[in-house]
Amino acid sequence: MRVYYHLAGLFILGLVTFISNKIQAEPYLAVREGLMCSACHVNQTGIGMRTLYGVEFTQSDMPIMETVDMEGVLDRDILDFISIGGDVRLANTTRAPDVGGAKSTNTFGFNEGNLYAKITIKQDRFYIYVDEAFAPGTANNRELVGILEGLPNSGYLKVGRMSLPYGWRLWDFGFTRSQPGFLGQDFGVEIGFEPGTISFQAAISNGEPFAISDSNTGKQFTTRLATVHSKGRIGASFTFNSDDPTVGGKRRTFVAGGPHIGVNLGQIAVLGEAHFIRAFDGVKNDFVTRIAAYGEANVLLSPGVNGKVAFDYFDPKNGNPTAKRLRIGLEPTITEFMQLRVFYEVMRPRNFADPLFGLNPNQDVVTLELHMMF
């Protein structure tokens, strides 16, 4: 199949890159460096616009060859009180279905297109943060929040449309993010504290992920607690929705929780998370406790070249088969503004209907992605 020719090209490209780095915002970097998410991101819970330190680290420490010094770091300020950022991912994806003799497909497209802005109202005290997605698909607002800093114990207060504080903030939506169905952007209030090595957040929101209006008669409570050290991070998350939005109009409790962990072994950074999800199941017409898990290992093969192996798992606990996904690839950061990602992916969901990805037949996938960022 064509996918295997692309796979051969993948490894050739990887070897060329290896002997010839801006790494995307992923939690393994925080694990490797022993940092809080807030060290590198304007949004304290991670992902999105980078802080000045995040920009400096990305542009001076991450590329294969250093191209700027600290004085040459990109100035993202367009006015004294407004700074901007962005991420764009262009991809070529080859899919080879392993069902019924279906033909392979090859597609160019966007995996991501986001613009960020930070509008400072009062320095080191209050600002407005905007995260706007313009691709793929139609434009939509991911986050629009007002953030009050300077509370006791390195605390903050966040109000608006936000991503809820739960587990690892993974860029790639695997089963631990798509299956729970409760971790999309939502309107609410979040408070957080980061005294010393402790990171804590708690949020109350409408409980209607991705929705513009609120028809949920209850509210959702989400919290995350972790301890962060130079050797890694360990924590747990919990969420409770008193009116499960997946069950039309019927008041049913939705509960999920589980641990997340990261281990720094020098050149190797390992992280994972597991979720136990109690929710109403339409197949059984009763509540079941589903299991979703994710793990990845990242190896710094050379300065600026990250090798990644990742595995997703989901058991619906309703008699249907489990869903599995294995990914392996390279992430070389070519310059301070550009990264390549080359991945081979094996999906075996047994025609499992994923709420975000749709009906995914068993298939092999090769992805070549160009990530541009500032």
For residue 24, the model assigns a pLDDT of 43
Q: Which residue has the higher pLDDT, 213 or 222?
A: 222
C-beta separation of 17 from 305 below 8 A:
yes
- Statement: residue 319 has pLDDT above 90: no
For residue 180, the model assigns a pLDDT of 55
d(CA 60, CA 69): 6
The model's confidence at residue 326, banded by pLDDT at 50, 70 and 90, is: very high
Domain residue limits, the chain: 2-373
**The two structure tokens encoding residue 217:** 């008669």
Three-state secondary-structure class, residue 16:
helix
Average pLDDT along the chain: 82
C-beta separation of 369 from 111 below 8 A:
yes
Tens of pLDDT, residue by residue over 19-69, are 333 334 588 989 999 999 898 899 999 888 988 888 888 777 778 876 655
Candidates 3.40.50.920, 3.30.830.10, 1.10.3720.10, 2.40.160.10; CATH matching 2-373: 2.40.160.10
d(CA 124, CA 253): 39
Q: Which residue has the higher pLDDT, 80 or 159?
A: 159
Q: Which residue has the higher pLDDT, 245 or 43?
A: 43
- The DSSP code sequence of 247-279 is STT----EEEEEEEEEEE-SSEEEEEEEEEEEE
- Statement: residue 296 has pLDDT above 70: yes
Three-state secondary-structure class, residue 8:
helix
d(CA 274, CA 277): 10
d(CA 86, CA 49): 7
Q: Is 5 exposed, middle or buried (0-12, 13-18, 19+ CB in 10 A)?
A: exposed
Q: CA angle at residue 240 from 288 to 349, to 5 degrees?
A: 45
**The two structure tokens encoding residue 48:** 């999105």
- The DSSP code sequence of 217-245 is SS-EEEEEEEEEETTEEEEEEEEEESS-T
| Segment 70-80 mean pLDDT | 66
The model's confidence at residue 7, banded by pLDDT at 50, 70 and 90, is: very low
C-beta separation of 108 from 133 below 8 A:
no
**The two structure tokens encoding residue 314:** 């989901």
d(CA 2, CA 20): 27
- Statement: residue 373 has pLDDT above 90: no
- Statement: residue 162 has pLDDT above 50: yes
Q: Is 273 exposed, middle or buried (0-12, 13-18, 19+ CB in 10 A)?
A: buried
**The two structure tokens encoding residue 106:** 């090859």
This model's pTM is above 0.85? no
C-beta separation of 347 from 329 below 8 A:
no
The model's confidence at residue 91, banded by pLDDT at 50, 70 and 90, is: very high
d(CA 165, CA 153): 18
Which DSSP category does 208 fall into? -
For residue 105, the model assigns a pLDDT of 92
C-beta separation of 44 from 25 below 8 A:
no
Q: CA angle at residue 203 from 254 to 53, to 5 degrees?
A: 130
